[in-house]
Every structure is written in structure tokens, then in C-alpha cells.
Amino acid sequence: MQGRAANRHAAFESFECSVHAPAQAARGARAVIRRAIEEQAMLAGMMLIGSAVTFGVWAGRNPLVVLNAAARRPTFVGRFGLTYGAGPRRALDVYLPAAREPRPAGGGAPLVVFFYGGSWQRGRRGDYRFVGEALASRGCVVAIPDYRLYPDAVFPGFVEDAAAAVRWARDHAAALGADPRRIHVAGHSAGAQIATLLATDSRFLRAHGLDKRDLAGVVGLAGPYDFLPLEDAALKRIFPEPVRDASQPIRFVDGREPPMLLASGLRDATVKPGNTVRFASRVAAAGGAVQVRLYPGIGHALLVGALGLPMRRFLPVLDDVAAFVRAAPRAPA
């Protein structure tokens, strides 16, 4: 089975950048991108076109429909509509592995708190059932919270909600069969900005008696980490001028962050890969642990869609995320 999976993913090998310093990272990333385009773009593009056509015909206007339909499999046990605070948007869904894997004595499964994207203006936890199924199928406990969205909240309101969700996860980890010292935050797009801000600016977790070093790891998929100045009028309202600078995860890096996996698709025109490269470079320059994955032929939405069925049969994104989460050391006691 592993051999067949490796063959399916051969055209989509991710490119891992060992980031040591900003200048080295930039040069290395440019070289990697050139090689990716020259050596694999044709084959990757042909496979992606076929997948995209099938995907679009089946799903219509909402690709999340097909992903969630495929996630109705006996790979998880769900607990839905749990509250982590007051208000209709402070609720979450939990996905538990259906088949529990052997664990070290006294240990537990990793717990991933996943924040979805949507430009801080839209999204529902139920739309990301496929993410819960995907990670639960790899032995993770998964919590997918809602959080307040614009116009009901502006920055930093949604990050404050996210911190409260992490506190809930920490408090309930053991009861869910997870290890409280193996909590990861993850997110896609706007959700990646939220996740990485929790891991860089400690004030949010400190408000709940935690520190960023209480996290075992961070996964950022196509995240905006360094996106000023703003041009979009809606974003200017979401990030008011007095607190706008504090919305940038890159500004808080000090080398004390938990290990990070930062991924981007090289065809992402929504949040360009430079965000990932610049942020990873800053983390590495400060002495932090960071891995970068750059995927040829993959755009913004497909990066998160690749976690679900049927896309994960062809793309290695879930394999990379699951391997990172499993390998991450436990957070300090």
C-alpha cells in the first residue's frame, strides 16, 4: 500500500526547504520553484486538470460538498456542537479516531485544533468535516471550532476566540484520549493567520493561563503572515488601524515558537507563497524550528482540499501534515 501511495504522489513531490537565514531561504526557494516548474509542471498540470474537472462537475459551485460527502466513512467518531464559551459562534466539533492506535504508556493521541479560512468573514465548522475525518484517519483527535466573524467581530476578537478554543482543548484532551502536551494548532488561509498568531504572540494564550510553548506544533496552510499594507476596504475594517500592526504573525517571532510546518501551493494567487517563505525565514533566523513545503501546480483552495478524499489519493499534503504532527516532540511540562 505504501508503494502504491508513493507512486501516486510521485508527480507532486513537495519541496522541503531547510530555512537557515532569510537570504538563503529566498535564493533556495527561487531555485526550487524554477526546478519545480521545469521538471514537473507538465505532468502535475495534466493530473490536476483531470482532477479539477471531475471535482468541479461533481461538486458544482461548492467543492466542500464533495469533500464532506466523501468523509462519511467509519474512520472517526464525532462529537458535535460542544461549547467552549458563551455565544453562538463559540462552539466546536470533535473528531476521534474510530480505530485507536497503540500508544506509549501514559501517553495519548495528538490533538489538532484546526481553524478554517474565509477571509475572516465567512465559514462554518461543519463545512470542514473532511478535515476532521482526514486527520482522525491518521490517529489524531481533531477539534474544529467556529469563531466570530466580521462584522460581528474585528481583530483581535476572532483570535481571542481561538485562544479560548485551545484552552478548551487543553482542558478536555485527556478525556478525549489525547495528550495535553501534544496539542497542535493548524489552519488554512485566514485560519493559518489565527493559528500562527497564537503561536507567536503569547498574549492571547496567556489570557487563558497558557503560553505558546504549551503547543507541540503549528501547521500553516497558505497563510497570510505578512500582509500589510492593506488595500481591500473590507480588510481595513476587519483590521482597524490602531491594532493593524499587531495582526501580523511575522512581527512577533522570537525563536521561542513551537515547531512549525508551513505549506503553500506554487499556483496560489490568493495568498502568494512569498508569505510562507518570508515567515519561515524569520522563524529560522530567530532560531526556531520550521519546515517548509512548496507544492507545484497547487492553488489556494486545493491545498486544504487535498486533505480530503479523493484528492489525498493523488496529493501528499495529508501525508506531510500527519507525519509532522506525529513526529513533533511533546510540549515542555
Task: Quick: pLDDT tens for 193-229.
Answer: 999 999 999 999 999 999 999 999 999 999 999 999 9
CA quadruple 80, 84, 86, 88: dihedral sign? negative
Residue 53, pLDDT score: 38
Residue 16, pLDDT score: 60
Instruction: Give 262's strand partners.
Output: 220, 292
**Of 126, 116, 65, whose CA–CA distance to 94 is shortest?**
126
Residue 252 neighbours by CB under 8 Å, 6+ apart? 197, 200, 201
CA quadruple 244, 250, 254, 258: dihedral sign? positive
Domains of the chain (ranges; CATH) run 2-327 (3.40.50.1820)
Residue 4, pLDDT score: 41
Would you mind telling me the total number of residues written for the chain in this entry?
333
**Of 248, 257, 124, whose CA–CA distance to 199 is shortest?**
257
Q: Which residues of the chain have pLDDT under 70?
A: 1-74, 100-106
Contact 142, 136 (CB under 8 A): yes
Residue 15, pLDDT score: 55
CA distances (Å), 100 to each of 75, 140, 320, in order? 10, 9, 21
Residue 70, pLDDT score: 55
Residue 74, pLDDT score: 66
Report pTM. Answer: 0.83
Residue 36, pLDDT score: 45
Residue 49, pLDDT score: 40
